[in-house]
Structure 1
């Protein structure tokens, strides 16, 4: 064990760096600063750096006053200059790991961040990767880059993987109280990373034997959800063909107190994890000449759902002797989940694409997202009033925000296609069809 670094962690004299100040990095930086560490955040986006240094919060799950107080105390600062690494003892990498257009992992942000850290790497430093990625990334990609300068991992510096577990909008579990998994390159790296997180977080710190185990468990978490949501979506497709209400089926199934966990269908998958993470594993599995059939089939089902919503919408319009071409469609909600302002991988965007390809005229309302750009097109949220509801040939509920007045929407809309069973409590459902 590196006694010097451990002592700094324990007495909180260690300076902590966080690379990437988004949904993962900024809440983590805040918790570390609240725990008594001086924290330096890094981001390539000058706007984020400026906001942090002014104490302006831009992440929904952070309390504005709490954030401003920490910044005012000088415990959290931000920079766009990577040379800040020379001033820190521990650094967490929290950058995006998206998929490319071929559904292959793009770890360029991780690689570039690691190369920049390597320029200033010094003895007795701890580097922790938090970005979700495929098993082997920490040891096969980061470790060789960091060792290029001659320092040895486990002896001169320390390296670990601890996957982020961020669920935007979750009122019960946040960065502070969600259990954390830690796997280091060697026992010392694991113990140092675990010691740091134990001094910051309230949730259990679960140590595993290697970064690869931690990387794989993160993918298992989200693959589990991906596959079960795909099952719910496939049930919805089949139930529709058979004239059965899938939501009633699920409600009946979850009455069983064991052996069943309820998952629900919807217009598709969104967010930074569930639609993306399983494809890291399918890509990596090819290296071992293995085809992840179940995972890929689940992905195909979930990817199909926005198209299914479009097909169902066309059938609804046909019943009113209307064509999709020229139809006025109003989408309720474009965020990927309820009560947040996050558009990442939102299925509503794909629904819009499919509808527009069929010639529909699209408008939307989302209290959390007043405007957005997608594929070069600009969209502006309209007012949700009686006139706009009655002007729509079809209203499609794609995000179940709690702010929506479902009673008034049901009263004023001509017809509603509810992809989330949000109108289940409405008594008069003659103008409502569920997924």
Structure 2
């Protein structure tokens, strides 16, 4: 390898930044390319904006030679280019605009023999049918003039036990040489690389992983709705079923499915199915069930307030504005559709979260309570959406006039659970 950079990571978000830091820690020469100048400035100052990457790790990476930049010229001397840009949904269809922009940017700057790896979640065929033609557009041949592979990200935010290094990395190359180069690249950072026969297998494996979670979450969410109508504790049911040592994996219900993967990735699968004349009905139904959960929570709140105070006059305190406990990430968090449903009923919900300072619902900024203890005592109903470790659940349960726990973490008679 004779480039200035062993690897250039394009997109320094929740996927790209941990990858860049891990590569630097493995002794690789790393540059990070991002169009957000503010992000780049933060990294150069040794400050992280990602929960799972500490400031000290950024400082150490910079000391090891990691460079963050907005200048695409770094691509001209990269042995490998790894694309980690967002692939959101737009009108329920995959939006690959950021991927296309990144690939085109790399195509005109790629040095001979360089490896390109796409990590962004997408549908099967993207690497070979979308990315490959752009890179080969100048007459270059894959496997000879450049190398191309797909390797899905497997980041589990907030899980200190599973990092990039000890999570197996799937790699699918367009050719055997492409797969070998990608395997060698990731082999310097992770303990185990799993090579599959082609990029489509790797692309679909990623979708299967998160669709599996979506479907099973939908099953237990649907069960929670049924249990509420029958007066059965769904949490006790899940705990009891979980004692079976084979054939069962416990999933927990919740107020909604947030984050950047589960609400999005299965839609890539259904989109791909339509193109192949196949309909993933189970996936579609799971999506519908999970999307209904915030409405179910609103209905439960209204029901619990019945006979106490009209919902429009009630002081409703929502605790937890992130999609996962102990993270500062509020993407897709259930608090937004829940607050929206309450506002439509004339309520003025308030919220608290140790990590989130502001929540906006339809151009309306929710009031963030300054003092948690006083607000819990003053509320007609406290709704626990995320059981952050910063919350003393026993104290909250004791102080609240009515506690509705959607997380199932409060034990005893002090709360009504989802």
Q: Same fold (TM over 0.5)?
A: yes
Q: Structure 1 CA distance, aligned partners of 2:61 and 2:280?
A: 46
Contact 1:123–1:151 (CA<8 Å) still a contact in 2? no
Q: How many residues align?
A: 418
Q: Structure 1 CA distance, aligned partners of 2:171 and 2:116?
A: 12
Contact 2:87–2:99 (CA<8 Å) still a contact in 1? yes
Q: Structure 2 CA distance, aligned partners of 1:154 and 1:215?
A: 19
Match of residue 126 from structure 1: 115
Contact 1:395–1:415 (CA<8 Å) still a contact in 2? yes
SS of aligned partner of 2:306:
helix
Alignment of 1:84-95 (within 5 A): 84-95=74-85
Q: CA deviation at 1:359?
A: 1.4
Match of residue 364 from structure 1: 351
Q: CA deviation at 1:83?
A: 2.2
Q: Structure 1 CA distance, aligned partners of 2:352 and 2:166?
A: 33
Q: Which sections of structure 1, spanning at least 5 residues, go unmatched?
A: none
1:250-292 Cα deviation digits (max 9, x unpaired): 1111111111110010001011111110000101111111111
Match of residue 51 from structure 1: 42
Contact 1:327–1:359 (CA<8 Å) still a contact in 2? no
Q: Which sections of structure 2, spanning at least 5 residues, go unmatched?
A: none
Contact 2:75–2:109 (CA<8 Å) still a contact in 1? yes
The correspondence for 1:78, drawn from 55, 62, 68, is 68
Contact 1:334–1:346 (CA<8 Å) still a contact in 2? yes
Match of residue 165 from structure 2: 176
SS of aligned partner of 2:190:
coil
Q: Structure 1 CA distance, aligned partners of 2:51 and 2:361?
A: 22
Q: Structure 1 CA distance, aligned partners of 2:75 and 2:396?
A: 53
Compared with structure 1, are the counterparts of its residues 411 and 275 closer, same or farther at alpha carbon in structure 2 (3 Å cutoff)? same
Compared with structure 1, are the counterparts of its residues 304 and 428 closer, same or farther at alpha carbon in structure 2 (3 Å cutoff)? closer
Q: CA deviation at 1:14?
A: 5.0
Q: Structure 2 CA distance, aligned partners of 1:380 and 1:116?
A: 43
Q: CA deviation at 1:229?
A: 0.3
2:342 maps to 1:355 = yes
1:228-256 Cα deviation digits (max 9, x unpaired): 00000000011111111111111111111
* Root mean square deviation of aligned Cα: 1.5
Q: Structure 1 CA distance, aligned partners of 2:198 and 2:369?
A: 50
The correspondence for 1:17, drawn from 8, 32, 36, is 8
Match of residue 228 from structure 1: 216
2:184 maps to 1:195 = yes
Match of residue 280 from structure 1: 268
Q: CA deviation at 1:44?
A: 1.1
SS of aligned partner of 2:89:
coil
SS of aligned partner of 2:282:
helix
2:393 maps to 1:406 = yes
Contact 2:4–2:78 (CA<8 Å) still a contact in 1? no
Alignment of 1:35-434 (within 5 A): 35-73=26-64, 75-100=65-90, 102-202=91-191, 204-320=192-308, 322-379=309-366, 381-424=368-411, 427-429=412-414, 432-434=415-417
Contact 1:369–1:381 (CA<8 Å) still a contact in 2? no
1:324-350 Cα deviation digits (max 9, x unpaired): 223221111011000100011112221
1:282-310 Cα deviation digits (max 9, x unpaired): 01111111111000000000000001100
